[in-house]
Amino acid sequence: MAIERTLSIIKPDATRRNLTGQINARFEDAGLRIVAQKRIQLTLEQAQGFYAVHNERAFFYDLCNFMISGQVVAQVLEGKDAIAKNREVMGATNPANADEGTIRKDFAESIEANSVHGSDALDTAAWEISYFFSQIEIVG
Ligand code: CMP
């Protein structure tokens, strides 16, 4: 089991409902450490840059507009197998398919407003972390 870092975003549907603390407690209860965190308002250009991998998808326009509809909390989570652990704690992308007790099952409003984002692999985690944070902002 390797110590990894993964990029997490608490999305506008969750910050709007003041769920940041409850979601962070889920991460910490699962053994993930929040080693960097900031609350920000993304611009459309920043949201499009982050989700560029999806720019051919039908949901891209709506997704980017949703991500700028309110503030987000970007964070770096660190721990054993952090990428897989975070995905387990988040639950399936579509809350209709998410397991009981996961963040998306308990908090998500829809597949788009699904409360959290998490990196899906080591290489994407490294890129996504560097999109939001410089090395000096990450403690751990
Ligand atoms: P996220 O993990 O942030 O990565 C891309 C996001 O696109 C995803 O979560 C969903 O919120 C959003 N999305 C909207 N529609 C779809 C869809 N049909 N399939 C996958 N992701 C979707």
Determine whether 54 is an active site residue.
Answer: no
> What's the confidence (pLDDT) of residue 1?
72
**Which residue's CA lies nearest to atom 3 of ligand 1?**
117
Q: What is the mean pLDDT of residues 104-114?
A: 98
Span 28-80, pLDDT tens digits: 999 999 999 999 999 999 999 999 999 999 999 999 999 999 999 999 999 99
pTM for the model stands at: 0.97
Q: Is the CB of 81 inside a 6 Å radius of any atom of ligand 1?
A: no
133 with 76: CB under 8 angstroms? yes
**Residue 10 to residues 5, 20, 42, Cα–Cα distance (Å):** 16, 7, 12
The answer to whether the CB of 93 is under 6 A from ligand 1 is yes
